[in-house]
Amino acid sequence: MKIMLCFNSQIIKKPLIAEVILETGALVNINKATIDITGGELIINVPDEDAKKVIKSFKSRGVDIITLEKPIVRTDEECVHCGVCISVCPTNVFKYEADGSVSMDHKECIQCGACITACPHNALKLSR
Ligand code: SF4
Ligand code: SF4
């Protein structure tokens, strides 16, 4: 499961990720991190079976949590299945189906934003 962690400036210096991994034993994988002295946002990938305890552990440390069921959202009416997103996505979220349509595997998205910039029809946006 993809989870967004929002840190404020009060807790940004604490080794929270290390603490949560040690406490839960979960294999937490960091997909994206934006951090400065005012706070930070991280997107992590956690095995589904560990998600509840990881979320609980982060919340107990003052971290705000947003679960990303679908990290990227497509407005299907705008998509013309041109395939540009297939060529720019670093994690192979998009692929052509046999009928020529472009399908999506949301769980691979790391919210890098490359497809949003590339899509000629503005069909894609990041979810929050
Ligand atoms: S780049 Fe945009 S219009 Fe083209 S297939 Fe991807 S989502 Fe659809
Ligand atoms: S945001 Fe990045 S990882 Fe996610 S679908 Fe778009 S290009 Fe792929």
Interval 101-121: pLDDT, tens: 999 998 888 888 999 999 999
Q: Which domains does the chain have, with CATH numbers?
A: 2-68 (3.30.70.260), 72-126 (3.30.70.20)
**Among the atoms of ligand 2, which is closest to the Cα of residue 92?**
8
Distance from the CA of 93 to the center of ligand 1, in angstroms? 12
Q: What is the pLDDT of residue 68?
A: 87
**Among the atoms of ligand 1, which is closest to the Cα of residue 94?**
6
User: Which residue CA neighbors atom 4 of ligand 2 most closely?
Assistant: 109
- Per DSSP, the residues of the chain read -EEEEEEETTTTTS-HHHHHHHHH----EEEEEEEETTEEEEEEE--GGGHHHHHHHHHHTT-EEEEESSSEEE-TTT-----HHHHH-TT--EEE-TTSPEEE-GGG-----HHHHH-TT--EEE--
Distance from the CA of 42 to the center of ligand 2, in angstroms? 15
pLDDT in tens, 9-64: 888 788 999 999 999 999 999 988 988 888 889 999 999 999 999 999 999 999 99
Distance from the CA of 30 to the center of ligand 2, in angstroms? 15
Q: What is the pLDDT of residue 14?
A: 86
**Among the atoms of ligand 1, which is closest to the Cα of residue 102?**
5
pLDDT in tens, 62-95: 999 999 888 899 999 999 999 999 999 999 999 9
